[in-house]
Homo-oligomer: A and B are copies of this chain.
């Protein structure tokens, strides 16, 4: 290393923005591949929507106030451009512009998005999501397929202790309206409070409803109705007693019955709950909605969520396309998987370091590393001209499990020492034997 130059300013990252370092990256790649495996099984086509959108495209989904929550700017041509804040907008905008695609259109994506909000535990200003959407079917079977896919994704990443909570906004909306709350603003205000009811005590829910101007009797009804939860059969029974009046309520109720049938077909009904407190905060949902929770880590919130939004595509294109889908945050999923200790041994470094005893054999170590690499054995070799001791120290500091010692004597005899860096033991092996040994222990 050369001498210090003049002292430097610190080069820090913008707030809420970070590098994904190797230890996390290897876990991400493992998780991504497991999620993709399920996308493929379910015949969802993977794509990636544009990273940048015209601001009005983003506003069309979420209203002009979205400007305060995202990164946006005027480009050099004077157009207002925003960084995507989720993957659904881009997918819906793409599908709405493509009249050539036969419906249903099943798309999936795993990628990053940006939001300018307060960073907190497990939440960053740049974050990643997996997302799967079905465009072009208003049949609850499509919602069931999105739920079934979600559950298989959680199973496939090794998270078996989860629960899926399902509801239908049509039913809850009809119930709330039947209590006399007619305007969409008031209904959504109630939804936002109900949405918090898994996170805050019931008394706090009542207080918040009261501050929305609801009378005690109405509050009692809302709290009672949104407390209905249980197996689909139980809940369908209770909801039927409370409320199936009105066209929208009837439609919503019928959708839940059809959903339960389809979930049974997908062999997923046993692990689903119906829960009338599930409304999903976001305004664009308008039918079946659902969330899944990791039973060991509910404090990070839902690990995935989704539902039906039949009106969004109509904003972007000339035809209306009903849609349903699901998305999950990768950062939260990683937290849950870390807690559940489900990751296999994932190494970011070589299986073996090919050590040069002296300069005479350096070229030989490169050709041995080349041989090992051609056989897909992750191999490291000195590219810095280090001494024997420094090479071993380096291999040790990176937790490389094996060192293959190459000296003039070894080259002559064709027998090399394979050192187990943890056990501090050595074996004398031909290159062929060492390769066999290393092939067995290399990950994947």
Determine whether A4 belongs to the interface, using a CB cutoff of 8 Å to chain B. Answer: yes
Q: Which of A49-57, A284-292, A333-341, A425-433 contacts B (4 or more CB under 8 A)?
A: A49-57
Interface set, chain A 1-48, CB cutoff 8 A to B: 1-5, 7-8, 10-15, 17-22, 25-26, 29, 36-37, 40-43, 45-48
Do B1 and A37 touch across chains, with their CB atoms under 8 A apart?
no
Interface set, chain A 51-88, CB cutoff 8 A to B: 51-54, 56-57, 60, 68, 71-77, 79, 81
Return A340 CB to nearest CB of chain B, in Å: 21
A-side interface residues, number (CB < 8 Å): 118
Do B318 and A7 touch across chains, with their CB atoms under 8 A apart?
yes
What does the 1/0 interface line of A264-278 toward B look like (CB < 8 Å)? 111100000000000
B residues less than 8 Å from A394 (CB atoms): 102
Would A317 and B15 be within 8 Å (CB), given that A76-B116, A265-B366 are in contact?
A: no
B residues less than 8 Å from A379 (CB atoms): 41-43
B residues less than 8 Å from A112 (CB atoms): 51
Do A265 and B370 touch across chains, with their CB atoms under 8 A apart?
yes
Would A320 and B2 be within 8 Å (CB), given that A102-B394, A126-B51, A384-B104 are in contact?
A: yes
Do A21 and B47 touch across chains, with their CB atoms under 8 A apart?
yes
Query: What copy number does this chain have within its complex?
Result: 2
Q: How far is the CA of A72 from the CA of B83 in the complex (A)?
A: 12
Determine whether A122 belongs to the interface, using a CB cutoff of 8 Å to chain B. Answer: no
Q: How far is the CA of A161 from the CA of B188 in the complex (A)?
A: 61
What does the 1/0 interface line of A87-107 toward B look like (CB < 8 Å)? 000100110110000111011
Would A46 and B29 be within 8 Å (CB), given that A370-B148, A398-B102 are in contact?
A: yes
Do B22 and A46 touch across chains, with their CB atoms under 8 A apart?
yes
Across the two chains, which residue of chain B brings its CB closest to A375?
Answer: B41
Return A19 CB to nearest CB of chain B, in Å: 5
Do B5 and A19 touch across chains, with their CB atoms under 8 A apart?
no
Do A47 and B20 touch across chains, with their CB atoms under 8 A apart?
yes
Q: How far is the CA of A104 from the CA of B395 in the complex (A)?
A: 11
Determine whether A137 belongs to the interface, using a CB cutoff of 8 Å to chain B. Answer: yes
Determine whether A385 belongs to the interface, using a CB cutoff of 8 Å to chain B. Answer: yes
B residues less than 8 Å from A199 (CB atoms): none
Return A170 CB to nearest CB of chain B, in Å: 16
Determine whether A349 belongs to the interface, using a CB cutoff of 8 Å to chain B. Answer: yes
Q: Which of A139-147, A213-221, A413-421 contacts B (4 or more CB under 8 A)?
A: A139-147
Return A246 CB to nearest CB of chain B, in Å: 21
Do A363 and B265 touch across chains, with their CB atoms under 8 A apart?
yes
What does the 1/0 interface line of A147-160 toward B look like (CB < 8 Å)? 01000100000000
B residues less than 8 Å from A133 (CB atoms): none
Determine whether A136 belongs to the interface, using a CB cutoff of 8 Å to chain B. Answer: yes
Q: How far is the CA of A17 from the CA of B321 in the complex (A)?
A: 24
Q: How far is the CA of A14 from the CA of B41 in the complex (A)?
A: 34
Across the two chains, which residue of chain B brings its CB closest to A49?
Answer: B19
Q: How far is the CA of A11 from the CA of B50 in the complex (A)?
A: 13
Q: How far is the CA of A42 from the CA of B385 in the complex (A)?
A: 17
Do A14 and B79 touch across chains, with their CB atoms under 8 A apart?
yes
Determine whether A301 belongs to the interface, using a CB cutoff of 8 Å to chain B. Answer: no
B residues less than 8 Å from A137 (CB atoms): 383-385
Across the two chains, which residue of chain B brings its CB closest to A26?
Answer: B46
Determine whether A350 belongs to the interface, using a CB cutoff of 8 Å to chain B. Answer: yes
Return A180 CB to nearest CB of chain B, in Å: 30
Do B363 and A261 touch across chains, with their CB atoms under 8 A apart?
yes
Interface residue from B19, B141, B369 paired with A48 (Cβ < 8 Å)? B19
Return A29 CB to nearest CB of chain B, in Å: 7
Q: How far is the CA of A141 from the CA of B369 in the complex (A)?
A: 13
Q: How far is the CA of A103 from the CA of B394 in the complex (A)?
A: 8
Q: How far is the CA of A229 from the CA of B116 in the complex (A)?
A: 52
* 8 residue pairs from A and B, CB less than 8 Å apart: A8-B318, A29-B46, A40-B378, A41-B373, A51-B114, A102-B394, A139-B385, A141-B366
Add 9 more A-B contacts to A20-B48, A52-B114, A261-B363 (CB < 8 A): A2-B322, A7-B318, A17-B51, A17-B52, A19-B90, A43-B349, A43-B380, A139-B383, A265-B362
